[in-house]
Amino acid sequence: MILGGIDVALILTSDHVDVRGAFAAVALVVGWGFIGIGLFAWDRRPNNSVGSLMVATGFAWLLSLISASNVSVLFTAGVFVSSVYFVTAIHMLLAAPYGRGLPRGDRRIVTAAYVLVTVGLLPLYLFVDPARDGCDGCPENAILIEHNQTIVDIWSSLVNLVGIGLIVAVLISLIRRWRQATRPERRLYAPVYAAGVALLIAAIAQLALQTAGFAGGAAEIAYIISIIPLALVPYLFLASLVRVRVAQGGAVSDLMTRLGEAPQPGGLRDALADALEDPSLELVYWLPDAGRFVDFRGRDYPLPEDDPARAVARIEREGECVAAIVYDASLREAEQHVRAVGAAAALAMQNERLDAELRAKIGELRASRERMLRIGLEERRRLERNLHDGAQQRLVSMALNIRLARAKLNEDPLAADQLLASAGDELTSALEELRELARGIHPAVLTDRGLGTALETLASRAPVPVELAALPEGRLPEAVELAAYFVVAEALTNVAKYANASHATVEVARENGRLVVEVADDGVGGADPEHGSGLRGLADRIAVLEGRLEIDSDRGRGTTIRARIPCE
């Protein structure tokens, strides 16, 4: 305010300013506009440098106007900083809209421009006498060495050309920025960009005309024209801030209306994408049981992590996560708005989440049906092989022996007796093999006595000492008992085969409607579920029951296999 007042006083009393009243008014509109709106933006978004750069532009502008003074020192100081506001304005345009650090190219342009309008202009001001440069009422140049028209002409042309080059570079950078901008970004900042581009073009025109030697008339007009977009920049910026608010309010009410209509599957995502003007938006639902996110079709959707282009807003309802909106990171500015939209749609999300959950279930069921078929086929194949290689071969050889014995019964009873004895041995072996085979298909003791007794048998047959730390009381659903039995059987088989363990512990307990089966050994660890069909088949068996199989097997730390099987 003080600086503005001083400026107005200096302008109104100036001997070398033409349209004093109008110029004083423009001075305040531009200076206070930048500072006031800059402070407002700075306060609302302290991490966004646009606000602070606007304030800087305002001050630089007001400072430059002390060149209106009739006092030599003030005049000289004002003239010396007279182009700084333009560079801070460029800086602001390049920093908009997010006000984060500039990319390297932009940073170089801005740095070069700051150097140019300060150090770069110094030689010019050392050799120019305003009175001999066409300014009649101007006071003396306080830092004049001597007037040298040649240096002034050459140096000012040089500075102007470099200046034009820098401004063109800024224009190119802005255009590239615009082409990369998302729809919401363009919608927001189009007016500010337009004003900025107008300012830059006017400045190029002014510098070009100056260089071409139209110092007096046309360049002056270009300068005056360039003031108009400059003056507009802060107000257009303010308008965009306000419009965001209004548009956001409107988007929420539009969304509410749309949610009232009968939604299609996935329609909620589209409604949110429209409300937030982000076509890349994804709406994903949290399935607490499965512990993962899925899209509306029920397909897995892992949330993006460390992706600078994508932002995530989790939508909660009654303290529980129901969904997450994955959106364009350029909207991160409007995170509050995304949350507001999300909150407005939370109820609808709840419904669609149930749908998604159902679809995910159907997908899982389909997958588990396929797995079940595969398990069945594999088991049939294994059975066929075992029967063929084992009992069948023995029976064939036995039949052969009996035939031979019959043939020899009369002529060589001793040989016949031996043949029959060996047939008897074959028979015993065949019976044993059949017995083991049957146990592998379904242990009778499991049906008869339940999991506890069956596991005791398994434990006592294991080649390493097995401690049964806990066993469930009473009977469980048959499928659950069988799955738990196979978990322990497979785990103990692995312990015997690979673990090189001194002992193992089996623990089976009910926890929150789940049967938790844990087999731990103190062996070498390093079991890999991806290799070896045993563990994979086990995981399938458990998955079919909607359970989960976990394997902790760090090398050297033993192996723990844990299955969680739902069982009400």
Partner 1 sequence: MADDSVLLREGVVRLLEDNGFEVVGQAGDAEDLIRKVRAHKPDVAVVDIRMPPTNTDDGLRAALEIRAELPDTGVLVLSQYVEEGYALDLVGDSAGGVGYLLKDRVADVDRFVESVRRVAEGGSALDPEVVAQLVGRARRDDPLAELTPREREVLELMAEGRSNNAIAEHMVVTDRAVEKHVTSIFGKLGLAPAPEDHRRVLAVLAFLRA
Given the rule CB under 8 A, which residues bind partner 1? 424, 427-428, 431-432, 435, 438-439, 443-445, 447-449, 453, 456-457, 460-466, 502-503
Is cis: bond before 97, omega within 30 of 0?
yes
Task: State how far the Cα of 237 lies from the Cα of 92, in Å rounded to an integer.
Answer: 11
Q: Taking the complex as a whole, how short is the minimal distance between the CB of residue 492 and partner 1, in angstroms?
A: 11
Q: Taking the complex as a whole, how short is the minimal distance between the CB of residue 559 and partner 1, in angstroms?
A: 17
Contact 116/163 with Cβ under 8 angstroms? yes
Q: Taking the complex as a whole, how short is the minimal distance between the CB of residue 460 and partner 1, in angstroms?
A: 5
Token look-up 């440098």 returns 49
Sign of CA dihedral 189, 190, 194, 195: negative
* Residue whose CB is less far from partner 1, 245 or 475: 475
* Residue whose CB is less far from partner 1, 118 or 397: 397
Q: Taking the complex as a whole, how short is the minimal distance between the CB of residue 472 and partner 1, in angstroms?
A: 16
Chain-centroid distance, C-alpha 329: 8
Contact 223/213 with Cβ under 8 angstroms? no
Secondary structure letter of residue 305 according to DSSP: -
Q: Taking the complex as a whole, how short is the minimal distance between the CB of residue 319 and partner 1, in angstroms?
A: 49
As beta bridge partners, residue 325 has 283, 313
As beta bridge partners, residue 303 has none
As beta bridge partners, residue 537 has none
Task: State how far the Cα of 138 lies from the Cα of 121, in Å rounded to an integer.
Answer: 19
* Residue whose CB is less far from partner 1, 6 or 496: 496
* Residue whose CB is less far from partner 1, 351 or 447: 447
* Residue whose CB is less far from partner 1, 314 or 439: 439
* Residue whose CB is less far from partner 1, 213 or 424: 424
**CA 110 to each of CA 64, 119, 164, 169, 504: distance values in angstroms, whole numbers, following the listed order:** 19, 14, 13, 10, 70
Q: Taking the complex as a whole, how short is the minimal distance between the CB of residue 294 and partner 1, in angstroms?
A: 43
Q: Taking the complex as a whole, how short is the minimal distance between the CB of residue 551 and partner 1, in angstroms?
A: 23
The torsion angles phi and psi of 324, rounded to 5 degrees, stand at -140, 140
As beta bridge partners, residue 467 has 505
* Residue whose CB is less far from partner 1, 280 or 460: 460
Secondary structure letter of residue 484 according to DSSP: H
Q: Taking the complex as a whole, how short is the minimal distance between the CB of residue 438 and partner 1, in angstroms?
A: 8
Contact 548/560 with Cβ under 8 angstroms? no
Secondary structure letter of residue 68 according to DSSP: G
Contact 445/454 with Cβ under 8 angstroms? yes
* Residue whose CB is less far from partner 1, 243 or 503: 503
Task: State how far the Cα of 55 lies from the Cα of 92, in Å rounded to an integer.
Answer: 10
Looking at residue 470, its amino acid is: A
**CA 415 to each of CA 65, 71, 420: distance values in angstroms, whole numbers, following the listed order:** 130, 140, 9
* Residue whose CB is less far from partner 1, 297 or 461: 461
Q: Taking the complex as a whole, how short is the minimal distance between the CB of residue 414 and partner 1, in angstroms?
A: 21
The torsion angles phi and psi of 259, rounded to 5 degrees, stand at -65, -25
* Residue whose CB is less far from partner 1, 288 or 465: 465
Q: Taking the complex as a whole, how short is the minimal distance between the CB of residue 268 and partner 1, in angstroms?
A: 53
Chain-centroid distance, C-alpha 519: 38
